[in-house]
Amino acid sequence: MNQRPVIFIDSGIGSIPYANFFHSRNRREKLILVADRANFPYGPKSKETLIELIVSLAKGLVARYDPKILTVACNTASVSALEALRKSFPALPVVGTVPAVKPAVLASRKRCIGVLGTQRTLEDPYIAGLAAQFGPDCSIVREAAPSLVDFVEHRWLKAGREERLLAVGPWIEKFLEQGADALVLACTHFLLLRDEFIYAGGDKLAIFDSVEGVVRRVESLLDEGGLRAPPEGDIEGPVLLISGEEKSDLDDLCEYFGLTRGEAP
């Protein structure tokens, strides 16, 4: 049994859907979420810059918290820095976030899927490699949506259902116009708009994400490594650590999700 934390990191609040799903299934695990607001957004940054930033962030977290698993709940960070993280921390299990290209390709009847993410994620050859592996006959429509990332990070909690649907609608139309019948949400921030994407896509555009796959991978590593938390004893609630100066807007979000706020290293 192991009382060390499981850590989920992102440039902002994108780790919340993944950490929430994990927490709903693993209530006894100590959970730390990290919002790297000091370096938000990750999407426009180069791969080299991201590797330096994310490895540095991880070093601080490892030194302070000695996590049993580090989950990179960010597609951009995963395609950029996952290999570097695993080399830097060979004894620490590191789980990345892989865009759900495989199930989207397998489900597409029109043989055309959309991928919505950041520029850095979409430029990485990893996505093309997944599509070529699982559906070489399937075309990919890629769209970068930095404005939507910013909307989720700074507006999501205050926005009502109508405003969220208005934010999602143009992207649904853009992919439908280009012939896609499946859409991959390849930025973790977009999972906070998952219900709106599903509603707006209707029966014309199926929505795919990686939440369940990522969480199941974390759970399998806990089981395989004998890292599960004790079945008895006090349980600490999830903590959101925030870097940078832009933090005041996250107070309401912490209350909404039942998170205790802290400072990132």
Phi, psi for residue 34 in degrees, rounded to 5: -125, 125
pLDDT in tens, 96-122: 998 999 999 999 999 999 999 999 999
Instruction: Give the pLDDT mean for 62-85.
Output: 96
Calculate mean pLDDT across residues 92-96.
98
* Phi-psi category of residue 111: left, alpha or beta, with phi > 0 → left and psi -120 to 50 → alpha: left
Q: Say if residue 229's pLDDT is above 70.
A: yes
Q: What is the pLDDT of residue 132?
A: 83
List pLDDT tens digits, range 12-32.
999 999 999 999 999 999 999
Contact in structure between 57 and 135 (CB atoms under 8 Å): no
The per-residue pLDDT for range 38-66, each reduced to its tens digit, is: 999 999 999 999 999 999 999 999 999 99
Tell which CATH architecture fits domain 101-209.
3-Layer(aba) Sandwich (3.40)
- Are domains 6-97+212-263 and 101-209 of this chain identical in fold? yes
- Region 253-263: mean pLDDT is 92
Q: Which amino acid is at 4?
A: R
Token pair for 253? 């979000």
**Bridging pattern class, strands 182-185 and 112-117:** parallel
**pLDDT grade for 123, boundaries at 50, 70 and 90:** confident
Residue 116, strand partner residues: 143, 185
Q: Which of 44-53, 142-151, 152-161, 230-239 is the least confident region?
A: 230-239
For the chain, domain boundaries:
6-97+212-263, 101-209
Average pLDDT of 250-258? Answer: 92
d(CA 193, CA 48): 30
Question: How confident is the model over 152-171, as a mean pLDDT?
Answer: 96
User: The CATH number of 6-97+212-263 is which of 3.40.50.1860, 3.30.110.30, 3.40.50.970, 3.40.50.150?
Assistant: 3.40.50.1860
Average pLDDT, the chain: 94
The whole-number average pLDDT for the span 163-168 is: 98
Q: Mind telling me the catalytic residues?
A: 74, 187
What's the pLDDT at 248?
76
- Looking at residues 133-159, what average pLDDT do you find? 93
The closest alpha carbon to 99, from 125, 121, 132, belongs to 121
pLDDT over 90 (residue 2): no
- Contact call for residues 93 and 139 (beta carbons, < 8 A): no
The pLDDT-based confidence of 262 (bands split at 50, 70, 90) is: confident
Question: Could you tell me the two tokens for 223?
Answer: 């089981």
Across the range 237-263, mean pLDDT stands at 89
Tokens of 111: 């043989």
pLDDT at 183: 98
Mean pLDDT score, 228-257: 87
Query: Residue 1's pLDDT is what?
Result: 62
pLDDT of 98 reads 87
